[in-house]
Chain A
Amino acid sequence: MRFAWTFAIAVVLACLVPLVSPNYMMTIIVEALIWGIFAMSLDLLVGYTRLYSFGHVAAYGLGAYTSALLLLHFNLPLPIAIILAVAISSLIAVPIAWVCTRTHGVSFAMLTLAFAQLGYAMLYRFKEFTGGSNGLAGIPRPAGPFGLEVFQGKIGYFYLVVFCLFGSYLLCRLLVNSPFGSVLAGIRENEAKTSALGYNTRAYKRAVVIASYGFGSLAGALYAPFAGFASPELFFWLISGKVLIMVIVGGAGTLIGPIIGGIFFIFLEHQLAEFTDLWPLIFGAIFIAFVMLAPQGIWGLVTSAASERRRSPGDAASESEDVTGASA
Chain B
Amino acid sequence: MPLLECTGLTRRFGALVAVDNVTMTVEPGEIRAVIGPNGAGKSTLFNVITGVLKPTDGEALFEGERISGLPVYEVVQRGISRTFQLTHLFPQLSARENVRIAAQAKLKGRWAMTGGAAVFEQSQHLADAALERLRLTRFADTPARNLSHGDQRLLEIAMAVAQGPTLLMLDEPTQGLSIEETEHAIGILQQMLAGGDLTVILVEHDMEVVFKLAHRITVLHRGQVIADGLPGEVKADAQVQSAYLGGFE
Which residues of A are at the interface with B, using a C-beta cutoff of 8 A?
Answer: 174-175, 178-180, 182-183, 185-186, 189-190, 192-201, 207, 317, 320, 323-324, 327-328
Contact = CB atoms under 8 A, between A and B. Distances in A.
Given A194-B101, A195-B72, A199-B110, 5 more contacts: A190-B88, A193-B89, A199-B105, A200-B74, A328-B120
6 contacts: A180-B112, A195-B71, A196-B84, A197-B73, A197-B101, A323-B92
Interface in B63-100: 71-74, 76-77, 81-82, 84, 88-94, 97, 100
Contacts of B93: 185, 189, 323-324, 327
B202 interface: no
B113 A180 contact: yes
A185 B94 CA distance: 12
Interface residues of B, number: 42
B119 A179 contact: yes
Contact of A324 (B94, B119, B120): B94
Contact of A317 (B101, B107, B109, B141): B141
B106 A193 contact: no
Nearest to B156: A193
Given A196-B82, A320-B142, A327-B97, A178 B113 contact: yes
B122 to A, nearest CB: 10
B115 A178 contact: yes
Contacts of B81: 197-198
A192 B83 CA distance: 12
A201 B94 CA distance: 21
A182 B100 contact: yes
A190 B94 CA distance: 14
Contact of B76 (A182, A189, A197, A328): A197
A189 B109 contact: no
B116 A179 contact: yes
B94 A320 contact: yes
B143 interface: yes
Contact of A201 (B73, B89, B91, B141): B73
Nearest to A192: B88
Closest A-B pairs by Cβ, 6 of them:
A198-B76, A189-B90, A198-B105, A193-B88, A179-B116, A174-B114
B113 A199 contact: no
A190 B92 CA distance: 10
B91 A189 contact: yes
Among the interface residues A193, A194, A200, A207, which one has the most CB atoms of the partner chain B within 10 A?
A193
B75 to A, nearest CB: 8
Nearest to B84: A196
B217 interface: no
B88 A180 contact: no
A198 B119 contact: no
B109 A327 contact: no
B76 A174 contact: no
A266 to B, nearest CB: 30
A190 B90 contact: yes
Nearest to A198: B76
B88 A196 contact: yes
Among the interface residues B52, B73, B120, which one has the most CB atoms of the partner chain A within 10 A?
B73
B102 interface: yes
B10 interface: no
Given A198-B76, A324-B97, A179 B112 contact: yes
